[in-house]
Copies of this chain bind each other. A is one copy, B any other.
Amino acid sequence: MKDSGKARSVTVSDVAREAKVSKATAARVLGGYGVFSEKVYEKVMAAAQALDYRPNELARSMTTGKSGIIGVVVGDIENPFFSYAVRGISDAARAAGLNVILANSGEQIEAEKSAVRVLMGKRVDGLIVTPAESRDIAHLRDIHRSGRPLALLDRALPDLQVDTVTVDDRKAAMRATRMLTAAGHRDIAYVTAVDSDRHEYRDLEQVYTSSVRERVEGFLSVCREAGIETPERLVRLGATSPEETRTIIQALLSKADRPTAILASDSLVALEIFRHIRYMGLHIPRDISLITFHNADWTSVTSPPITVIDQPVYALGKMVAELLIRRLKGEKRPPERVVLQTSIIERGSVGPPPPSGR
């Protein structure tokens, strides 16, 4: 217990001195670069062992310019959608010997900017972002301009030519909506979590998130195709928290022309909707039908189980990470836009609308 106190860390120089070689030589051995003889290798390694040398990755990063870290900015880790995706990213990163540093934007553009600034300051090798908005993307342009690879997860940015992995949101929304119109529904609500000042929907100009936009477009087009008039009257934005969602769903279900079916944009929204439907004493699918995006755990164990749009979330994360990693390994190629396919898992939450007049 004599080496109490300081604990200043052992450096290359210390090892070099111990091994009686130059700092440069010791560095070569310890850093595993350049050439050196067998004999020197042995000596240096023995010294390193004896002194319990641990490389300072920070110093290493500073000279090389690479940190071995990829930065990830997501909307909210609490949302299982993102935690699965992050898992996919982490796995891909670990496989490539990289680490992940995670930041939450809370879907707030300012928080996103700040997170990006911090991560860039830390000289992450690349960034994966789920952009909260498509309007204000100067900070993302900067990343790209500074030469670090950027990849987009789940949401595309028309104006930004970078690797992007999304799902076929429009098609998914269309299929789900068609399933509902085919069952006879004419009053279908679409509830989504995009940040918005008001819950009512006016037009697409209001929506700054590509995935949401595509879904709304898909939803509306199928509705119109089925001859439903002003389907946008039942589109609701701003379900960003349980409280907001509750407010929305409450208003929606107490309307005179209450919708007979609801399409939810994620499992968190769907859970609140499910709760409220139950709370009102309504029965799924007899009184109201429900489909949600994201095959969350719980959707299969409710009564009835929920029909969902199954997004390959893990693959989404893994693929965007792999794209990014390949690029920062030096691969030169034009930006890729990968669109993964979704599927619908039919369970028990869709039925015909209740007899008219309710």
Residues of A whose CB lies within 8 Å of any CB of B are 7, 9, 54-59, 61-62, 67, 69, 77-78, 80, 83-84, 86-87, 90, 94, 99-104, 117-123, 145-147, 271, 274-275, 278, 296-298, 300-303
Contact = CB atoms under 8 A, between A and B. Distances in A.
B104 A101 contact: no
Nearest to A148: B7
Contact of A118 (B56, B99, B147): B99
A123 B54 CA distance: 11
30 contacts: A7-B145, A54-B121, A57-B118, A58-B58, A58-B62, A58-B123, A69-B101, A69-B122, A77-B83, A77-B86, A77-B90, A78-B83, A78-B84, A90-B103, A94-B104, A99-B101, A99-B103, A99-B119, A99-B122, A100-B101, A100-B102, A101-B101, A101-B102, A271-B298, A275-B300, A275-B301, A297-B298, A298-B298, A298-B302, A303-B303
Report, nearest first, the 7 A-B pairs whose CB atoms are least far apart. A298-B298, A303-B303, A57-B121, A101-B101, A83-B83, A7-B147, A58-B123
A143 to B, nearest CB: 11
A63 to B, nearest CB: 10
B298 A301 contact: yes
Count copies of this chain in the complex. Answer: 2
A90 B62 contact: no
Given A7-B147, A145-B7, A90 B61 contact: no
Contacts of A9: 146
Contacts of A119: 99
Contacts of A296: 298
Nearest to A103: B99
Given A99-B101, A121-B55, A301 B302 contact: yes
Contacts of A69: 101, 122
B104 A102 contact: no
B122 A58 contact: yes
Contacts of A100: 101-103
Given A69-B122, A78-B87, 14 more contacts: A58-B122, A62-B62, A69-B101, A77-B86, A78-B83, A90-B102, A94-B104, A99-B101, A99-B122, A101-B102, A274-B301, A302-B302, A302-B303, A303-B303
A8 B67 CA distance: 16
Contact of A104 (B90, B104, B123, B147): B90
A303 B58 CA distance: 53
Contacts of A271: 297-298, 301
A31 to B, nearest CB: 13
A274 B298 CA distance: 11
Nearest to A67: B58
Nearest to A82: B83
A274 B67 CA distance: 45
Contacts of A145: 7
A193 to B, nearest CB: 15
A239 B54 CA distance: 36
A94 to B, nearest CB: 8
A82 to B, nearest CB: 9
